[in-house]
């Protein structure tokens, strides 16, 4: 039952800053911007590797499709596992201290990745990089819950996701162009140096605040149990986790490669299609808070819309692969998948509103863990399916070209999953931006 008179409690540090210090408030806002910059870098790595440089890595390390897909899977498995612990730590320690630790790890992992000389070193440095990146999103979620009023949570969440997708855009066509001119190693090294600069700036500003406060929330897995026991959140997990995993698969793993292998796109053209996908995802996710507000803070219609777009994409791409529809449907298919991202902020907002505000980071972290767990399994399965058809692949100087049968199998699996996603979205409980009674 919805209590319209009582919105989710949250502290607004813009109007009630510690010691009423205007200077401290300004620094906190600047720190928030640095956190956004670090999230930008973490999202760049989700998209850029292995998707944009799949062929380069496969050629340089003489690797199988499963070997390269594992680079994406390692990132996702670590990201998923870390989420539960991160939620507890962020609720207890606070986002700023966690950001410093995570940023240092992210910078080191990125720089070392550019110097990798073997698959094992690629895996190890990718794991280190993933560990650092896994903290960024939840730190930002907790920060906006503390800095801004609850009624604006969905809107600022859209801003965070917008920045993330801009990082994703950088990991597609712009990164592909950089790799073409200076190579993948130099391109990754430069991103590592930029990350280190952002971390240094964040540390410098954080030291000026001298905030030693630690939250009173106890570090306990009882919070996780409480989140898991909340049956209202199950449909959101099913819907958003699957839709996001299909989008992520195309964005970060095989979106560029399927266009090259099945439809004979060159690298530049294929990257531009993935760029369109990410740009539309950015627009959809970034505007979802405003759209929801115009719909009287309704969440469920946008979640249903997102799942429907994901299902439509799978249907179109399967017909395109079979040759029953021409290549002209590819761009509309990518557009539909991009628009599916409008559901992602709504799912996160619902999770926050369906759980106690004191454990909001833990609740959202559990959904993230589920989402990236599903993505990791799907990416791993994709690499395995591609290797099943390795004997049918055509070897060129720079890559293995996999047959359309491999991609038919992959997207048949995605189609089945997207049907479950749509079913889950129909069962989502509407919150309209307010907390539900426990």
**Could you tell me the CA-to-CA distances from 212 to 58, 96, 334, 376, 417 in Å, in that order?**
47, 11, 47, 37, 46
Of 118-127, 202-211, 364-373, minimum mean pLDDT range = 202-211
Distance of alpha carbon 69 from alpha carbon 63, whole angstroms = 10
Q: What number of CA atoms fall less than 13 Å from residue 302's CA on the CB side? A: 31
Burial of 408 (0-12, 13-18, 19+ CB in 10 A): middle
Tell me the per-residue pLDDT of 375-415, one tens digit each, with 9 for 90 and over: 888 988 998 999 899 888 888 877 789 999 999 999 999 99
Distance of alpha carbon 277 from alpha carbon 282, whole angstroms = 9
Q: What is the mean pLDDT of residues 1-12?
A: 45
Distance of alpha carbon 236 from alpha carbon 242, whole angstroms = 10
Q: What number of CA atoms fall less than 13 Å from residue 321's CA on the CB side? A: 22
**Could you tell me the CA-to-CA distances from 37 to 33, 202, 284 in Å, in that order?**
6, 10, 20
Distance of alpha carbon 295 from alpha carbon 293, whole angstroms = 5
Distance of alpha carbon 219 from alpha carbon 87, whole angstroms = 10
Task: Check if the beta carbon of residue 44 is closer than 8 Å to that of residue 149.
Answer: no
Task: Check if the beta carbon of residue 94 is closer than 8 Å to that of residue 213.
Answer: yes
Q: What is the mean pLDDT of residues 307-320?
A: 95
Q: Is the pLDDT higher at 209 or at 16?
A: 209
pLDDT for the residue 428? 92
Q: Which residues are CB-neighbours of 155 under 8 A, at least 6 positions away?
A: 289, 290, 293
Distance of alpha carbon 142 from alpha carbon 14, whole angstroms = 14
Of 146-155, 163-172, 383-392, 426-435, minimum mean pLDDT range = 146-155
Return phi, psi of residue 137, to 5°.
Answer: -65, -50
Tell me the per-residue pLDDT of 241-288, one tens digit each, with 9 for 90 and over: 999 999 989 987 888 889 999 998 888 889 889 888 888 988 888 788
pLDDT for the residue 372? 83
Report field, pTM of the whole predicted structure over 0.75: no
For residues 424, 425, 428, 433, the Cα torsion angle rounded to the nearest 10 degrees is 150
Q: What is the mean pLDDT of residues 114-127?
A: 94
Mean pLDDT of the chain: 83
Domains of the chain: 18-426 (1.20.1250.20)
pLDDT for the residue 1? 36
């Amino acid at each position: 039952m919805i209590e319209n008179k009582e919105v989710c409690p949250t502290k607004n540090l813009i109007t009630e800053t510690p010691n009423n210090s205007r200077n401290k408030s300004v620094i906190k806002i600047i720190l928030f911007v640095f956190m956004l910059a670090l999230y930008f870098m973490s999202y760049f790595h989700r998209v850029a590797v292995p998707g944009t440089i799949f062929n380069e890595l496969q050629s340089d390390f003489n690797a199988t499709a499963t070997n390269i897909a594992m680079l994406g899977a390692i990132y996702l498995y670590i990201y998923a596992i870390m989420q539960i612990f991160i939620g507890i730590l962020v609720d207890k320690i606070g986002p700023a201290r966690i950001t410093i630790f995570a940023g240092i790890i992210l910078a080191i992992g990125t720089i070392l990745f550019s110097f990798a000389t073997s698959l094992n070193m690629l895996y190890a440095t990718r794991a280190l990089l993933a560990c650092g990146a896994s903290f960024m999103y939840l730190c930002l979620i907790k920060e906006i819950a503390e800095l801004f009023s609850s009624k604006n949570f969905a809107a600022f969440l859209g801003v965070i996701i917008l920045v993330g997708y801009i990082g994703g855009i950088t990991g597609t066509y712009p990164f592909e162009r950089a790799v073409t001119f200076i190579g993948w190693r130099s391109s990754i090294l430069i991103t590592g140096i930029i990350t280190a600069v952002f971390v240094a700036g964040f540390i410098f500003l954080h030291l000026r605040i001298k905030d030693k406060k630690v939250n009173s929330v106890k570090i306990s897995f009882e919070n996780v149990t409480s989140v898991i026991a909340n049956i209202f959140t199950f449909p959101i997990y099913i819907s958003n986790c699957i839709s996001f995993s299909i989008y992520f698969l195309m964005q970060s793993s095989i979106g560029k490669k399927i266009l090259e292998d099945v439809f004979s796109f060159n690298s530049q053209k294929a990257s531009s299609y993935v760029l369109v996908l990410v740009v539309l995802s950015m627009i959809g996710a970034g505007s979802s808070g405003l759209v929801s507000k115009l719909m009287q803070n309704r969440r469920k219609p946008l979640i249903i819309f997102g799942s429907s777009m994901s299902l439509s994409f799978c249907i179109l791409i399967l017909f395109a692969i079979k040759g029953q529809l021409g290549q002209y449907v590819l761009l509309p298919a990518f557009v539909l998948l991009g628009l599916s991202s409008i559901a992602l902020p709504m799912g996160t907002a619902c999770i926050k509103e369906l759980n106690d505000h004191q454990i909001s980071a833990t609740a959202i972290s559990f959904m993230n863990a589920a989402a990236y767990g599903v993505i990791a399994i799907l990416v791993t399965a994709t690499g395995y399916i591609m290797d099943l058809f390795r004997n049918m692949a055509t070897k060129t100087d720079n890559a293995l070209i996999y047959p359309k049968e491999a991609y038919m199998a992959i997207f048949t699996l995605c189609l089945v999953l997207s049907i479950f996603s749509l079913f889950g979205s129909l069962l989502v409980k509407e919150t309209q931006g307010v907390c539900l009674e426990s």
